[in-house]
């Protein structure tokens, strides 16, 4: 389901969004879409709303337009629609093409793209090659190299598009905004290419060719004869491409025709401007070596990305099963419920919340830091819906003085300061693991706090068999071993609405 414009507008990582969306148990439903946005920090509420009330909606909302989740923006009497592409329609068209589903959202200021684009590096390399060509080569040699760079860029966009990264450049060349015919023609030629040599498509060889010819172009005029030979050889590729477009697919691809134009222009330049250069065996061997390196590099990259894509698809299908709430609930309730007499010590969050998360932990446990991070994150995300009790395992007869002082500092802060101060102190401890700095952070002098609540709480943990740390309990039910602790994020919305829990 193409959602490029919508994802870009919300400033989400497309790869992460599509992975989470595809792996949702209810994919591709509105619930899956809404849950994915919530998970990535875009808080939202979904409604079934009659069209007569749509005038009361905010200026921006999400609707299902033409069977696709789309961002709708009011602009006077017109509506701008963003999904896989952008278009503008009037109110009557919007009502006609939409369902009654609307989703109101609020973007989190912390949401941002987490991936690093390769394009800044690509532009830097292109700039260096262009500058070198203009300063050291003749005008026709520079023009030849500029055409090679154009070929590399277009071929790289096609290569990147194979793995789900839609290219705005390819879409523009193929006439994305002019209608569906040109776009479908490009897709038909590029994405459905049946050519396969060691797993490489015909378009992949375009990338290999232009990278090789770009490198050779830096050594003109010494490499002129080799380049001219390859320019003549490109006629075979041109003829094959035109045959496929005209007689096999019976549809012409604009981006393919653009690449053909680049190849023909390079052939013309090589014929009329590259003089007769004697054959040099060293240059020929270096050229063969160069193209071999480029070929196997692209082959390796293509294989790696395909394996990654297949793994993600397989993982997404598996996660749909794993993230099914009914299965999680069954696993959770299979465990015997544990009841504690002390539910108040080190309790933070909404004490009247339906969901109480208990963490059995130890300040000196290496894995407990991440568990506390999860709890703090849930408290921030669901401040009114959950409470968290930190149940530290502590036995005064088995612990050293530093441990006792640390627990005493926790207790003093919890009793005399705010819950947030207590959470900050626990977080600071796990970051530094320094008792002296933690006491300084707490801003207290050594005190003899009554630690009997902690001792009793630890005894309850041991009696319930909760000796290992960290352990999560949800309303007394131990978090299922079949799930990772981080999986709790996927079920919080349903947990807070489930009266059985």
| Closest to 71 measured CA to CA, from 41, 94, 52 | 94
Q: How far apart are CA 269 and CA 253, in angstroms?
A: 25
Confidence check: pLDDT of 183 > 60: no
Confidence check: pLDDT of 409 > 70: yes
DSSP secondary structure of 230-286: HHHHHHHHHHHHHHIIIIIS----HHHHHHHHHHHHHHHHHHHHS------HHHHHH
In order of 16, 39, 154, the CA distances from 151 in angstroms are 30, 40, 5
- What is the per-residue pLDDT across 456-470, written as a single tens digit (0 to 9) for each? 998 998 888 888 888
* Alpha helices for 79-222 (secondary structure H): 91-97, 119-136, 139-161, 168-173, 180-190, 202-217
Please, which residues bridge with residue 259 across strands? none
User: Considering Cα of 275, then 276, then 280, then 286, what sign does the dihedral take?
Assistant: positive
All structural domains of the chain, each given as residue ranges with its CATH number in brackets, are: 4-106 (3.90.70.10), 119-311 (1.20.1440.130), 326-497 (3.40.30.10)
- What is the per-residue pLDDT across 278-326, written as a single tens digit (0 to 9) for each? 667 888 888 888 888 988 988 888 888 877 777 766 666 666 666 788 8
DSSP secondary structure of 414-477: HHHS-HHHHHHHHHHHHHH--HHHHHHHHT--------HHHHHHHHHHHHTT--SS-EEEETTE
Confidence of residue 115 (pLDDT cuts 50, 70, 90): very low
Return the minimum-mean-pLDDT range out of 95-109, 120-134, 339-353, 380-394: 95-109
Q: Average pLDDT over the chain, rounded to whole?
A: 82
- The pLDDT of 215-233, averaged and rounded, is 88
Give whichever of 55-59, 173-177, 356-360 has the largest mean pLDDT: 356-360
Distance of CA 312 to the CA centre of its chain: 12
Contact indicator for 19, 312 with CB cutoff of 8 Å: yes
Confidence check: pLDDT of 110 > 50: no
At residue 113, the pLDDT reads 41
Residue 47: in which H helix or E strand, if any?
strand 43-48
At residue 181, the pLDDT reads 39
Return the minimum-mean-pLDDT range out of 346-355, 423-432, 439-448: 439-448
In the block, residue with structure tokens 């006439």: 175
Counting other chains too, the contacts that 190-194 makes at CB distance below 8 Å and 24 or more residues apart are 190/158, 190/161, 190/253, 190/255, 190/256, 191/161, 191/162, 192/249
């Amino acid at each position: 389901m193409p959602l490029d414009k919508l994802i870009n507008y919300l400033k989400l990582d497309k790869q992460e969004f599509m992975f989470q969306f595809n792996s949702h148990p209810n994919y591709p439903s509105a619930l899956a879409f809404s849950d994915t946005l919530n998970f990535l920090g875009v808080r939202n509420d979904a409604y079934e709303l009659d069209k007569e009330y749509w005038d009361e909606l905010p200026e921006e909302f999400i609707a299902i337009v033409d069977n696709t989740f789309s961002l709708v923006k009011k602009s006077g009497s017109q509506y701008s629609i963003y999904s896989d592409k952008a278009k503008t329609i009037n109110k009557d068209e919007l009502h006609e093409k939409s369902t009654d589903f609307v989703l109101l959202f609020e973007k989190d200021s912390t949401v941002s793209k987490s991936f690093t684009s390769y394009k800044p590096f690509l532009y830097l390399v292109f700039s260096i090659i262009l500058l070198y060509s203009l300063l050291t080569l003749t005008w026709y040699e520079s023009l030849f190299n500029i055409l090679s760079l154009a070929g590399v860029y277009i071929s790289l966009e096609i290569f990147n598009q194979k793995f789900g990264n839609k290219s705005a450049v390819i879409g523009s060349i193929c006439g994305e905004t002019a209608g569906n015919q040109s776009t479908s023609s490009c897709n038909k030629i590029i994405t459905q290419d049946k050519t396969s040599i060691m797993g490489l498509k015909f378009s992949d060889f375009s990338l290999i060719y232009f990278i090789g010819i770009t490198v050779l172009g830096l050594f003109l005029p010494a490499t002129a004869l080799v380049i001219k030979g390859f320019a003549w050889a490109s006629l075979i590729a041109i003829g094959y491409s035109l045959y496929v477009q005209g007689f096999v697919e019976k549809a012409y691809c604009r981006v393919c025709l653009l690449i053909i134009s680049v190849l023909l222009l390079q052939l013309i330049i090589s014929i009329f401007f590259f003089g007769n250069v004697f054959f040099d065996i060293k240059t020929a061997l270096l050229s063969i070596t160069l193209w071999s390196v480029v070929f196997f590099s692209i082959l390796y990259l293509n294989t790696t990305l395909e394996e990654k894509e297949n793994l993600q698809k397989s993982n997404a299908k598996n996660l749909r099963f794993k993230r099914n709430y009914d299965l999680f609930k069954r696993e959770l309730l299979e465990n015997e419920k544990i009841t504690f007499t002390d539910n108040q010590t080190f309790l933070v969050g909404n004490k009247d919340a339906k969901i109480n998360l208990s963490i059995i932990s130890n300040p000196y446990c290496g894995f407990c830091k991440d568990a506390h991070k999860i709890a703090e994150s849930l408290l921030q995300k669901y401040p009114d819906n959950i409470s968290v009790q930190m149940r530290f395992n502590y036995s005064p007869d088995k612990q050293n003085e530093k441990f006792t002082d640390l627990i005493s500092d926790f207790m003093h802060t919890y009793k005399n300061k705010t819950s947030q101060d207590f959470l900050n102190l626990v977080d600071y401890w796990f970051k530094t693991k320094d008792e002296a700095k933690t006491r300084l952070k707490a801003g207290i002098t050594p005190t003899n706090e009554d630690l009997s609540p902690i001792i009793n709480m630890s005894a309850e943990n041991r009696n319930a068999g909760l000796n290992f740390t960290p352990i999560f309990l949800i309303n007394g039910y131990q978090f299922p071993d079949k799930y990772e602790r981080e999986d709790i994020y996927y079920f919080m919305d349903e947990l807070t609405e489930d009266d059985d829990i």
